Structure 1
Amino acid sequence: MRRDELLNAAEALLAEQGAPCLTLAAVAERAGVSKGGLLYHFNTKEALIKGLIERLVRDFDELVAAQDEPSYTRAYLAATFAAVRSGSLRRWAVATGAAGDPELLAPLREAMARWHREGLADEPDPMAARIVRLACEGLWEVATHDPGFYDEGQYEELYQRLCGLLPG
């Protein structure tokens, strides 16, 4: 069993039953492996949660890198809207909800700091870039808690308006 399959099982369990139901035994059962098989990859519940958060950060970094945009902020914006539209934000909600220990969120805090500093010196208008990045965070929050709040047309209008704040 691969790490990603175990992480998928943990995410599904979190999404369906919430953080109190996240146990190593429940994840192993959900993944169809022995508890020993799970322990080979994640020896504690905290290691499992840290693995979930690290994967979320890595996946978003890859999504940003995959955007064909002229600036980091435009790539960050496009990646955010791609994540919102695909529904992958639920992964963020369940993983961060499971991390009751602030230490477990350290990789996410480090990534957020990096995402909000990346490329600012290269932006024609660094303040506009900051505003757009903060708007992305607000969108993540709203879409995480109420995925149906905006329809596709509203997402497109929001995207275009945010793009309009950026020079070029």
Structure 2
Amino acid sequence: MKKEALLDAAESVLSEQGTQALTLTAVAERAGVSKGGLLYHFPTKEALVRAMVARVIEEFDDLIASYIDSFGDGAPGAYTRAYVEATFEILTGEARAYRRWSAITAAAADPEQAEPLNEAMRRWHGRDPADDPDPGTATVVRLAAEGLWEVVSHDPGLYDAGQLETLKQRLLSLLER
């Protein structure tokens, strides 16, 4: 069995049953493999959680990069616009991927487990926004998008699709000033 299928199974257990239910036995059962088959790829629960965290970070980085590419590399404000677009794709996409993120970050509550996510946050939010015409506004827009993500993680029904689209357009319009 491929690692990706095992990670999918682990994410399913987390999303459906919560962090307490995330055990190697539960993941192996969900994936339809022996526990030994799971242990071959992920010798500990911590290794499994690290791999889930690494995968969501990589997916978000790739999403940001795809938007930057679509705007044109070096376009003013491309990074922050890409960050907003990627965030809203996670929030509104069919997979509602923010639920994956919520579950995975909860599973990585241990400081050592959370460090890769903390490092990604430092990279995403602490970068020099020199390509932004107004670095202060760009920082505020990225933080607002991050805050919205957090709110929607806790109350998914708070905003409907139309409201989220309006919020996204408003954030993007702030970058045009």
Would you call these one fold, judging by a TM-score over 0.5?
Answer: yes
Instruction: Name 2:82's counterpart in structure 1.
Output: 75
Structure 1, unaligned stretches of length 5 or more? none
1:149 aligned partner, one-letter code: L
Instruction: Name 2:10's counterpart in structure 1.
Output: 10
Instruction: Name 2:61's counterpart in structure 1.
Output: 61
* Whole-Å separation in 2 of the counterparts to 1:159 and 1:59: 20
* Whole-Å separation in 1 of the counterparts to 2:85 and 2:128: 15
* Whole-Å separation in 2 of the counterparts to 1:105 and 1:137: 17
User: What's the secondary structure of 1:143's corresponding residue?
Assistant: helix
**How big is each residue's C-alpha offset from its partner over 1:127-166, in whole Å with a ceiling of 9 and x where there is no partner?**
0010000001111111111112111111111011101111
Instruction: Name 1:103's counterpart in structure 2.
Output: 112
Instruction: Name 1:142's counterpart in structure 2.
Output: 151
Instruction: Name 2:21's counterpart in structure 1.
Output: 21
Aligned pair count?
A: 168
2:92 aligned partner, one-letter code: R
Indicate if the aligned counterparts of 1:72 and 1:119 stay in contact, CA closer than 8 A.
no
Instruction: Name 2:102's counterpart in structure 1.
Output: 93
Structure 2, unaligned stretches of length 5 or more? none
1:158 aligned partner, one-letter code: L
* Whole-Å separation in 2 of the counterparts to 1:127 and 1:41: 44
Indicate if the aligned counterparts of 1:64 and 1:79 stay in contact, CA closer than 8 A.
yes
* Whole-Å separation in 2 of the counterparts to 1:100 and 1:115: 20
Instruction: Name 2:134's counterpart in structure 1.
Output: 125
* Whole-Å separation in 2 of the counterparts to 1:118 and 1:60: 16
Q: Select between 39-48 and 140-149 the one with higher mean Cα deviation.
A: 140-149
State the identity %.
Answer: 57
User: What's the secondary structure of 1:123's corresponding residue?
Assistant: coil
User: What's the secondary structure of 2:81's corresponding residue?
Assistant: helix
- TM superposition shift of 1:119: 5.1
Write out the 4+ residue segments of structure 1 that deviate beyond 6 Å after TM superposition: none
2:57 aligned partner, one-letter code: V
Aligned Cα RMSD in Å? 1.2
